[in-house]
Each structure stands twice: as structure tokens, then as C-alpha cells.
Amino acid sequence: MKYESNPPDAASLMMSARSFGNYDLPSALADLIDNSIKAGAREIALTCSYKGGDPEIRVRDDGHGLTGQELRDAMRPASSNPLAERSPDDLGRFGWGMKSASFSQCARLTVISRRNGELSGCVWNLADVDAWRMGVLDADEIAALASPEVLADDGVEVIWSNCDRLSENGTLTQAEFNALIVHAGKRLALIFHRYLSGEVRGRKLILRLNNRKIDGLDPFYRDHKATQQLEAEQLEIGGRTIEIQPYILPHYSKLLPDQHDQLGGEEGFLRNQGFYVYRSHRLIISGTWFRLLRHGELSQLVRVRVDLPNALDHIWKITIDKSDAQLPAALRNRLRQIVEGLRRRSSKVFRSRGGRLDRAGTTSVWSRYARGGEVRYTINREHPVIDALLEAGNDHQKQTASTALKVIEQAFPVAAFTQDAAREPDAIHQTLTDPVVFKADLNAALPMLLLQAGGDFAALEALLRVTEPWCEAWGATEVVLKEKGWMNA
């Protein structure tokens, strides 16, 4: 056998690189930020300019930068071997990120670097890469293009122009562009929250987006006193350790609406429950149960942090865009057990929010009578809503309401309930879990409750504070009252 050189066609390979991974704008930016973090950057500035419909995006860092030769090497596709061992803090793997992330968004990639005062700049233009021709900028071109910060101090500036992939149909309005940027800011706040909070590296990473500092968004809300941190667990695989740390988030009644919206994210709590997988402290996947559990209502407060070292990349099959990984078969069973235990505990958080019967100082809906070995549940006639029902209308209507309550009480489905409670208590689901519905129901009940309170706002507040179900979700109730201006903000 003899050997011939058979290299790929430059233009075709670079065009295919546009579709490596499954990048969107946030994940593409995240790949560049990974590189900046690895280079020891303290501050990273993202600048996104609309430029009359021909947008330009810059990512600038104050890391150690690259020499001219290092920059040439870094620009090369597949610049390093994915099998090479990486230092534990290295967020890279494939030697592709800077190129594939950039081409997923733009057709022209310019990188300018300053290391120990030496400036260099290189350009890949997808419209002109025949025979692997890479542009190398001279001093004047660098001076004209680079931001003043990179000219003055060591670091790297990546510039994306001809951003033809930002829109699906080729045109991008200013409003659409702004929305993309806002969305990207939110995602990055989540992806890098442990760097932004200073949890990693002993100092906070500063990340700016169009001059505004991005604050980290902790999906576990560890600062909130109602967040439950459960027992952590360490699993050994391939001689390395994976850390599993489950949390149960506060019930919505303990959160202010802003906090609730932020934690729920754009897709809400239901969608965002599950594992949050971090590779070297950087979030790669969120809100999945790896098909070990359904995205159920009762588990919507459970989020489980999983910390992977980058040495396990091959076992988890990390993808080029660092946005996906597969759960190794060796871990499946153990994780399934952990997840089952969590689901049970989370459903308790919801169910314990329900009516605790006859608690001193509160007006419950149901009363429990136990006498001489006999137990009976009745509907509390003094509850303001029940009272209003019994007092409304003419005598005939009052009589009907009273009879209705009695038949409901007598027909309480004791047998079915007992069976369910014995067989699958977690499945019983009487308590409202949806804050939007809670709010709507309260709004509907308010006029009547105000009447009961003699039309007095202070009396209304006092009534709600001790009346089910509103006293059980006081945070959410308070918000509705304040929105109406019925309680001081």
C-alpha cells in the first residue's frame, strides 16, 4: 500500500463547521467565554451592535492573550487533540470552539490578541478560504479595528461580522436583535453563575453586556432561607468523582413575584426542574431528568446539581458546543434511586402547604371532630367564603346552599380517599400549585371578602392573614393586595 495526501477541501470543511454542534447565540458566546476564563480573564466585555442591520459582536477579555504564533495555531480548525488531557480548570476539549461557535453565527471571524505587549490579528472569511488562506492583519489594520482596551493591555478580542446566522430569514430588525441580546444575557447569567458569584477561582468574574454588568443567576436560590439543601452524594466513575447535590426550591408562596419569575425562567418551573449538570463549574445542561422521571407537577421544585470534572468528557460524550451530554449507563440506576427519593420529598413541600386542620389562630375550610373514637370532617361555616355563600340571596337560596354543604360533607369519599392515601399518597394532589391560578382565584374572591371585612382594607388584610388558603400562601396574597393598592407597598 502506498499513501497519498488527501486533505479536505477548505471551503467545504469550513462551511460544514457552521453546523457543528447545535449552537444558538448564547451557547456560541459561552464557548468564547470559556476560552477567556481559561486564559485567566478577570473581566469579559461583550459588545453587540446592530449597525443598521449588519450586526457586529465583540468579545473582549483581559486574559493572558496569545502571541502571534499562538494565535495562528489557535485559528486553525481542530487546533488540539480532543483526547489530550486538559488541566482541571480548562473549559475546552476539541480545539474547535472558537471557530465552530463563531461560524455558527457569522461568516467573518477576526481575532486580535495582545500578549506581553505584542499585538497580532488574524481573520477567517468564509467567503474566501480557498486553500486555507487566512488573513493576517498588519499593525495599522489592527490599530484601526481593535478596541482601545486591547491595544493598551494584554488580552484577546474576538470580532464577529457578517452575522448572517443571527436571523432565520436573513433580515433582522433592531427589536429582534435586542431581544436576542437580552435572551443571551439571561442565559449567560445562568451558565456562568458560579464564576460570576465568585464561587470558583476565589474571585468574581466580571461579565459585561453592552456595558451592563451581568449578575449570576443561581438556579438553586441558595441565598433564600426556604431553599432546602438535601444530603449531597458522591459517585465514583472511571476513577473520578461526580458530586450530586439536590435542592428543593421554595414554594411560590414564599417567593416574591419577581423572584418567582426569575427562578422559573422563560419556560417556568415545570420545565426547569431536573438535573443541572456542570462541567468544571460551568453549566452545560439544565432542566432534564435524563428520562428517569417525568417533568411532573409535584417534582417541579426539585433541582439537582451534578458536578463533572472535565476528565470524564469521554464517558459523558460531551458535545462540541458543550450543550449536551449523555448519562453514562453505570450511573443510571443510582441516579434513578436518588431521583425517586427526591420526588417524594418535593411533593411533601406542596402537600404540607395544604390545609392543616384546625390550626390555632387560623380559619380553616375543613374542621375535624374526634370524639369517643369517632372522627368526622365538616365544612367550617365560619370560613368567610362559606359564610358568604350561606348568607347570599333569599331564604330559598340560603336553604339550598346549606343543603349542598351537608351533602358534600356526608358524601366525603372516605373509602376511595383511604385507599389512595394508603397506596400512593404522593399522587393525591389537592393543593394548588399554579401561582397564576391562585392569583386569579383570589382576585375573584376579593370583592366578596372585602364586603365581609366591612369594606375596610386593614380588616380585609387581617382576615386574609388568618384564613385558608390565603394565609398559607401569604407572600402571593400580599402581592395581589399591593397590586390593587389595598395594602401599603
- Which residue, 82 or 309, is less far from Mg ion as judged by CB? 82
CA distances from 77 to 61, 103, 149, 358 (A): 22, 11, 27, 70
**74 scored as a contact of ligand ATP (CB under 6 A):** yes
Q: How far is the CB of 34 from Mg ion (least distance, A)?
A: 5
Binding segment toward ligand ATP, per CB under 6 A, in 30-38, 222-230, 278-286, 323-331: 30-38
Q: Cα–Cα distance between 463 and 457 in angstroms, integer? A: 10
- Report the nearest approach of Mg ion to the CB of residue 90 (Å): 9
Of 84-92, 106-114, 292-300, 444-452, which segment contacts Mg ion by CB under 5 A?
Answer: 84-92
CA atoms lying within 13 Å on the CB side of residue 186: 13
Candidates 28, 123, 129, 156: give the one binding ligand ATP (CB under 6 A). 156
Q: Please, are residues 409 and 377 in contact by the beta-carbon 8 Å criterion?
A: yes
Choosing from 24, 61, 154, 218, the residue that interacts with ligand ATP (CB under 6 A) is 61
Helix orientation angle between 474-483 and 457-465, rounded to the nearest 10 degrees:
160
Q: H or E stretch including 119?
A: strand 118-125
Q: How many helices (H) and strands (E) does the chain have?
A: 18, 16
Q: Does 97 bind Mg ion (CB under 5 A)?
A: yes
Of 122 and 293, nearer to ligand ATP (C-beta) is 122
Choose which of 21, 55, 63, 216 interacts with ligand ATP (CB under 6 A): 63
**CA nearest 41: which of 136, 144, 120, 158?**
158
- The window from 14-22, 35-43, 147-155, 473-481 that contacts Mg ion (CB under 5 A) reads 35-43
Closest by Cα among 465, 486, 485, 452 to 253: 465
**Residue range at the interface with ligand ATP (CB under 6 A); choices 63-71, 294-302, 323-331, 339-347:** 63-71
Q: Is 94 in the site for ligand ATP (CB under 6 A)?
A: yes
Q: Is 274 in the site for Mg ion (CB under 5 A)?
A: no
Spatial CB neighbours of 443, under 8 Å, sequence gap ≥ 6: 480
207's CB contacts (< 8 A; 6+ apart) are: 33, 43, 44, 46, 188, 192, 196, 213, 214
Angle between helices 174-191 and 25-38 (to 10 degrees): 50
Nearer to ligand ATP, 97 or 264 (CB): 97
Q: Rounded to whole angstroms, how far apart are CA atoms 113 and 121? A: 6
**Applying CB under 5 A, does 95 fall inside the site for Mg ion?**
no
Rule CB under 6 A: say whether 347 interacts with ligand ATP: no
Instruction: Kindly state whether residue 221 participates in binding ligand ATP, applying the rule CB under 6 A.
Output: no
Residue 200 touches ligand ATP, criterion: CB under 6 A: no
Q: Which does 219 bind (CB under 5 to 8 A by kind): Mg ion, ligand ATP, none?
A: none
Q: How far is the CB of 95 from Mg ion (least distance, A)?
A: 8
CB of 316 to ligand ATP, least distance (A): 14
Which region, judged by CB under 6 A, interacts with ligand ATP, from 29-37, 215-223, 251-259, 281-289?
Answer: 29-37
- For 350, list phi and psi in degrees, rounded to 5: -70, -45
CA–CA separation, 351 vs 431, rounded Å? Answer: 6
- Determine if 362 is a binding residue for ligand ATP (CB under 6 A): no
Work out whether 92 is an interface residue with Mg ion (CB under 5 A): yes
Q: How far apart are CA 240 and CA 234, in angstroms?
A: 10
User: Can you tell me the distance from the alpha carbon of 148 to that of 283, in angstroms, rounded to the nearest whole number?
Assistant: 32
Spell 465-482 as b/e; 16+ CB within 10 A means b: eebbbbbbbebbbbbbbe
119 binds, among Mg ion, ligand ATP, none (CB under 5 to 8 A by kind): none
Applying CB under 6 A, does 93 fall inside the site for ligand ATP? yes
Beta carbon of residue 364, minimum distance to ligand ATP (angstroms, whole number): 58
Q: Which is nearer to ligand ATP, 102 or 431 (CB)?
A: 102
DSSP per residue over 57-86, as a string? EEEEE-S----HHHHHHHHSTT-S-TTS--
Q: Which residues bind ligand ATP (CB under 6 A)?
A: 31, 35-36, 39, 61, 63, 65-66, 74, 79-80, 92-99, 156
Q: Which residues bind Mg ion (CB under 5 A)?
A: 35, 92, 97
